[in-house]
Amino acid sequence: MTENQNFLSEERIGRLMARYAVPCVISLLVGALYNIVDQIFIANADYLGSFGNAANTVVFPLTVIALAVAVMIGDGCCAFVSLSFGKNEPRNASRSVGGAVLMSVVSGVFLTAVYLIFSDEIVALFGGTVNAETFDYSKEYFFWITLGIPFYMFGQAMNPVIRADGSPKFAMASTVAGAVINIILDPLFIFSFKWGMTGAAVATVLGQVATAAMAVWYLLRTKSVKLTKSDFVFNKKIALRTLTLGICSFLSQISLVAAMAAINNMIRKYGALDPVFGEEQYAQIPMAVVGIVMKFFQIVISIVVGMAAGCIPIVGFNMGAGNLRRVKSLFTRLLIAEACVGLIALFIAELLPSQLIAIFGARNESEYYTAFALRAFRVYLCMVVFACVNKAAFIFLQAMGKAVASTTLSMVREIVFGVGFALILPRFFGLDGVLYSMPASDILTAVISAAVIAATYRALGEERRERMSQANCHSFPEEEYM
Q: What is the pLDDT along the chain (482 residues), one digit of tens a residue?
A: 444 556 777 778 888 888 888 877 887 777 677 768 888 898 888 888 788 888 988 998 889 899 999 989 998 998 899 888 878 888 889 999 999 999 999 999 999 999 999 999 999 988 888 888 999 999 999 999 999 999 999 999 999 899 888 888 898 899 889 989 999 999 999 999 999 999 999 999 999 999 999 999 999 999 888 888 888 988 999 999 999 888 777 876 777 788 888 888 899 899 888 888 988 888 888 988 988 898 889 889 888 988 887 887 788 788 777 788 888 888 889 999 999 999 999 999 999 998 988 887 766 678 888 899 999 999 999 999 999 999 888 888 877 777 777 778 878 888 889 899 999 999 999 999 999 999 999 999 999 989 888 888 888 777 667 666 664 544 544 444 44
pTM over 0.85: no
Which residue ranges make up each domain of the chain? 21-468
The DSSP code for 45 is: -
Q: How far is CA 291 from CA 284, 287, 374, 380, in A?
A: 11, 6, 13, 12
Distance CA 431, CA 438 (A): 13
Q: How many CB atoms lie within 10 A of CB 462?
A: 11
Q: How far does CA 330 lie from the centroid of its chain?
A: 22
CA angle 341, 345, 347 (to 5 degrees): 120
Burial class of residue 336 in the structure, from the number of CB atoms within 10 Å of its CB (0-12 exposed, 13-18 middle, 19+ buried): exposed
